Structure 1
């Protein structure tokens, strides 16, 4: 029983990488971006939903079907660091601001940007 409690506590203390992920088209200056509190899960989820044919961003889904999955790259655009203040647990606002910054960066580089 103590082991079970210990594992639960370890899980609560886990801090997955968070930040902004992008899916870029290799055929045109087009990118889908999304903020996430778990980068690995976000990238895996996006790929899975695209391959299954039911991604919520219709524009990305359509491009994926037209261009083929081999013409897209999945990447972590920026990782958001945790605060040194251990009491902060909600990073939603930080991710929203970071997502806006990345949208501006990509638009300045000539990309068309889609997001959820």
Structure 2
């Protein structure tokens, strides 16, 4: 049986998919764009908040309540690869990447949550 220390070390060595993603409403093409160092966990958090009706974005929450989960898609817009040789503030890099993608995509304000 592995020790607690070994389990913690294994977890630290795990590589998660990190990047910028969007939650897209298929009925009106509105998007909610976010970033994370662990996309799967962040998406699960958003879904949980939406299912329980307490998502911070009220407009997204209202559409989710009205249209249902099946009307929304998760789309990864860009991924970052982890560089083990450098010390990088990935949270900061992802925030910059998110803003660059928003600017590049030129999404009209009325199509953003």
Shorter-normalised TM range? 0.7 to 0.9
Q: Partners of 1:110 and 1:57 in 2: how far apart?
A: 15
Q: Deviations over 1:27-66 (max 9, x none)?
A: 1121001111111101111111111111111121111122
User: What secondary structure, in the 3-state scheme, does the structure 2 residue paired with 1:16 have?
Assistant: coil
Q: Give 2:67's aligned residue.
A: 67
Q: Partners of 1:83 and 1:13 in 2: how far apart?
A: 12
Flag structure 1 segments of 5+ consecutive residues without an equivalent: none
**Structure 1 length normalisation: TM-score?**
0.82
Q: Partners of 2:81 and 2:20 in 1: how far apart?
A: 12
Q: Deviations over 1:46-88 (max 9, x none)?
A: 1111111111111211111222222111222221111252x41
Confirm or deny that 1:77 pairs with 2:81. Answer: no
Q: Partners of 1:27 and 1:73 in 2: how far apart?
A: 11
Q: Partners of 2:52 and 2:68 in 1: how far apart?
A: 13
Structure-2 change in CA distance of 1:3 and 1:106 (3 Å): same
**Structure 2 length normalisation: TM-score?**
0.83
Task: Answer yes or no: is the 8 Å Cα contact 1:29–1:110 preserved in 2.
Answer: no
